[in-house]
Structure 1
Amino acid sequence: MISRVTCGEVQPWRLPDPAITWYHSAVRYQRHLLAEEKKEKKKKKKKKKEKKRDERLRKMICSDSL
């Protein structure tokens, strides 16, 4: 059913469905949370690698000096 549009009339097929917009915003927020979690994991992993590298270097330096 397509009716003629008069001045000031709201076209219902152009209005966003509130349930759909809520769903999309929820999905977007969930993606954001996952991305944040991924970044944190990456930081922790990098920190761990740096710590291991530092430990190895320290051992090498100590063994060379003896």
Structure 2
Amino acid sequence: MTEVKRYKVTYKQSFMGEVLVDSYIRVVQSDRELVDIEDALYSDPHVFSVNIEAINEEETKWKK
């Protein structure tokens, strides 16, 4: 079974003179998927910055 990892994808885009920043969480199975995500975002001519960072599972668990 392939191990899946969670990543936070943050991107910036320029739209009508404003800089918009958005992010989302994505679960991926391979590094190839990360490249595809980045390529898809940069295919939008308004996007000028993409940052993808791994989410540490230990940090996201609820503390009891």
Q: Tell me whether the two structures share a fold, i.e. TM-score over 0.5.
A: no
User: If each structure's helix is expressed as a fraction of its own residues, which one has the higher value?
Assistant: 1
TM-score scaled to structure 1, two decimals? 0.27
User: Which structure: larger Rg?
Assistant: 1
Higher strand residue share: 2
